[in-house]
Structure 1
Amino acid sequence: MKAWTFGDQAGLESLRLADLPTPQPKAGETLVRVHAAALNNRDLQALRGTYGPRKPEDRILLSDGVGTIVAIEGENHGLAPGQRVIAPHFAGWIDGPFTPAIFAQDVGISRDGWLAEYICLPTASLIALPAAVTDEVAVTLAAAGTTAWHGLVEFGGVKPGDLVLAPGTGGVAIMALHIAKALGAQVAITSSSDDKLDRCRALGADFTVNYRTRPDWAAALLEQTGGRGADIVIDTIGLGEIEQTLAVAAANGRIALIGGLSGAPGHAPNMFGMIGKNLTLKGITSGSRAMLADLVDVVAANGITPLVDRTFPFAEADQACAHLDRGGHMGKVVVTV
C-alpha cells in the first residue's frame, strides 16, 4: 500500500511517500480502508523532531481519519465489514479518567496513523458513524473535536447561556465554536485577521477581537460584553498570555489549557488572578472513545459541519503539511485517500 512516513524528522522535507506492506489485523484489531485523514499542528512538530521521542522512520503520520471496515480479527464489538468508522487518536483510552499509559497507543505518533491506504486499529476503539455524519465531517473530529469536547463538556460543564472564549481560528478553536453554539453557549473568538473574524461571526461567534489591533484583547472583550467574563476558556495560547486569560475569566471560571503557542522558557507568569476569582486551570490532552462517541451524537443531532479550510489529494500530502505550516488556514486541513 501507499503511505506517508516520518523519515528522518529533520523538517517537513523529511516526509516520505513509501510502498509498505498492507497491515494485517492481529487479535482484537480491525483493518480499515482509509477514505480521508486530517492534519494537526503536532504532526508538523513531529516531522521536525520536536514532539516527544524520535519515531521510527517508517512510522505513518496523522491522528485523524475516517474509513470503512475491511476485516475484523476476534471480537467484533458490534461492528461489521462495510461500516464507516472513526477512532480517538488515543486508541487505548476507551473510557474513564486520563492515565499516562494512553500515550503508548497514540495514533500517528506511537503507532501507525491514517495517512495511508489502510490502517489497523483496536476494534474496541472504533465508532460506527451514522449516515448523517459525512466523511468530511467525521475526519475532523478525533483530535481537535475530542479535545474541544473534553475542555467544554467533560471539564468545563458548559451549559446554555455560558460565555466560552476560544482564542484563535485553528482546528480546536473552530471546533469549540461549533460545539459551544450547538449546546446553547455564547462564544468569543480572537484572531489577528479581520477577515477570519468576519467568518467566525458568520459561523455564530457572538464576540470577536483582533488582538493585533488590540493587544489588550482581554480588556477589549470585556468592553464588548459589558464586563462579563468568560465562564470557560479553551486556551490554545499558553502561558505567554495567561495574565490576560486570567483577567478575562469570570469568577469560578474554568480554563482548559490545551496549547502552548506562546510563552518563552523561563517566563514566570503572575498567577494571582486564579486565587482572586477562584478559577480552575486544567491541562487537557484530547479525550477518550466515550467522549468522541458523545461528540458524534451531538454532531449528528445538530447537523454540525466543522469548517474545512482546504482538501488535498493523497499524492499532495506534503503540500497539505506546507499549507498548514504557513498558518493562514482556518479550521481543518484534510487529505483524501
Structure 2
Amino acid sequence: MKAFQIGQQNGIEALAATSRPDPVAGPGQAIVAPRLISLNNRDVQIIRGSYGARKPDERIPVSEGVGEVLSVGEGVTQVKPGDRVISGHFVNWAGGDFGYHAFGHDIGVTHDGWLAEKVAIPAASLIRVPDAIGDEDAAALAAAGLTAWNALVEVGKVKAGDLVLCLGTGGVAIFALQIAKANGARVAITSSSDEKLELARQLGADITINYRTHADWAAELMAQTGNAGADIVIETGGQGTLSQSIAAAAVNGRVIIIGVTAGQSMALPNYGTIIGKNLTLKGIANGSRAMLVALVRAVETNGIKTVVNKVFPFDQAPEAYAYLAAAGHVGKVMIQL
C-alpha cells in the first residue's frame, strides 16, 4: 500500500512517500481505509522534530481522519466491514479521568497513523459515524473537535450567556466558536487578519480583535466588554500568549491551556492576577472516547459543520503540510484518498 513516513524529522521535506505491506487485522483490531485525513499543528511539530522525543523514522503520521472498515480481527463485534468510522488518537483513554495511560497508544505518534491507504486500529476505539455527518464534518472531530469539546464542555462547563475567547482561527479555535454558539454562549476571537475575522463573524463571532492592530488585545477585549472579560479562554497560543489570556479572563474565569506554539517565555508579570481573579488554569490533552461519542451526538443534533480551508490529494501530502505550516488558513487542512 502507499503511505508516508516522517523520516528524519528535520522539517517538512522529511515527509517521504513509501510503500508498505497491507496490514492484517490481529485480534481486537480493524483495518480501516482512510477516506479523508485531517492535519493538525502537532503533525507539523512531529515532522520538524519538536514534538517530544524523536520518533522512529518509519512512523506513519497523522492522528485523525474518517474511513471505512475493510476487515476485522478475531473477537471484534463493535464494528463490521463497510462501517464508516473515526477514532480518538488516545486509544487507551476510553473514559473517566485523564491519566498517563493515554499516552501509551497515541495514533500517529507511538503507533502508525492515518497517512496511508490502510491503517490498523484497535476496534474498541472506533466510533461509527452517523449518516447525517459527512466525511468533511467527521474527519476533524477526533483531534481538533474533541479538544475544543473537552475545553469548553468538560472543563469550561460552558453555559448560555458565557463569553468564550478563542485565540486565532485554527481548527480548535473554530470548533470552539461553533460549540460555544451551539451552547448559547457569546464568542470573542483574535487574529492577525481582518479577512479571517470576517469569516469568524460569519460563523457567529460576537467580538473580533486584530492583534496586529491591537497588540494589547487583552486590554481591547476588556474595553469591549465593560471590563468584564472572558469567562472561558481557549488558550491555543502557548506560553507567549498566556499572560494576556490571564489579563483577558473574567473573575472566576477558566483558562484552558492547549497550545504550545507562541513563544516559550515563562514570565508571567501578572501572576498575582491568577489569585486576584480566582482563576482556574487547566491544561488538557485531547479527550476520551466517551467525550468523542458525546461530541458526535452534538454535531449530529446541532448540524455543526467543519470549516474546511483546503483539501489536497494524497500524493500532495507534503504540500498539505507546507500549507498548514504557513498558517494562512482558517479551519482545517485535509488530505483525500
Q: Structure 1 unaligned segments of length 5 or more: list them.
A: none
Amino acid at match of 1:44: V
Partner of 1:277: 277
| 1:53-101 per-position Cα deviation (integer Å, ceiling 9, x unaligned) | 2111111010011001111113334322111000001111111111112
Distance change (3 Å), C-alpha of 1:38 and 1:181: same
Within 2, Cα distance between the matches of 1:178 and 1:303? Answer: 10
Q: Structure 2 unaligned segments of length 5 or more: list them.
A: none
Amino acid at match of 2:214: R
The Cα shift of 1:265 comes to 4.6
Within 2, Cα distance between the matches of 1:93 and 1:194? Answer: 39
Contact 2:222–2:229 (8 Å) recurs in 1: yes
Amino acid at match of 2:25: P
Contact 1:239–1:269 (8 Å) recurs in 2: no
Contact 1:5–1:16 (8 Å) recurs in 2: yes
Partner of 2:233: 233
Partner of 2:61: 61
Aligned length: 337
52-61 vs 146-155, which moves further: 52-61
Within 1, Cα distance between the matches of 2:149 and 2:197? Answer: 22
| 1:179-235 per-position Cα deviation (integer Å, ceiling 9, x unaligned) | 111111111000010110011000100111001000111111122222221111110
Amino acid at match of 1:328: G
Structure-2-length-normalised TM-score: 0.97
Contact 1:127–1:293 (8 Å) recurs in 2: yes
Partner of 1:251: 251
Partner of 1:193: 193
Amino acid at match of 2:110: S
Within 1, Cα distance between the matches of 2:89 and 2:266? Answer: 31
Amino acid at match of 2:21: P
Percent identity reads: 53
Contact 1:231–1:249 (8 Å) recurs in 2: yes
Contact 1:188–1:206 (8 Å) recurs in 2: yes
| 1:145-202 per-position Cα deviation (integer Å, ceiling 9, x unaligned) | 1111111011000111111001100111011011111111111000010110011000
Contact 2:239–2:266 (8 Å) recurs in 1: no
The Cα shift of 1:266 comes to 5.2
Specify the SS of the correspondent of 1:222: helix
Partner of 1:169: 169
Partner of 2:303: 303
Partner of 1:324: 324
Q: Where do residues 1-337 of structure 1 align in structure 2 (5 Å cutoff)?
A: 1-265=1-265, 267-337=267-337
Distance change (3 Å), C-alpha of 1:5 and 1:269: farther
The Cα shift of 1:30 comes to 0.7
The Cα shift of 1:320 comes to 0.2
Distance change (3 Å), C-alpha of 1:202 and 1:19: same
Amino acid at match of 1:20: R
Specify the SS of the correspondent of 1:322: helix
Amino acid at match of 2:189: I
Contact 1:169–1:196 (8 Å) recurs in 2: yes
- RMSD of the TM alignment (CA)? 1.2
The Cα shift of 1:268 comes to 4.8
Distance change (3 Å), C-alpha of 1:131 and 1:268: same
Within 1, Cα distance between the matches of 2:269 and 2:286? Answer: 25
Structure-1-length-normalised TM-score: 0.97
Distance change (3 Å), C-alpha of 1:78 and 1:143: same
Specify the SS of the correspondent of 1:85: strand
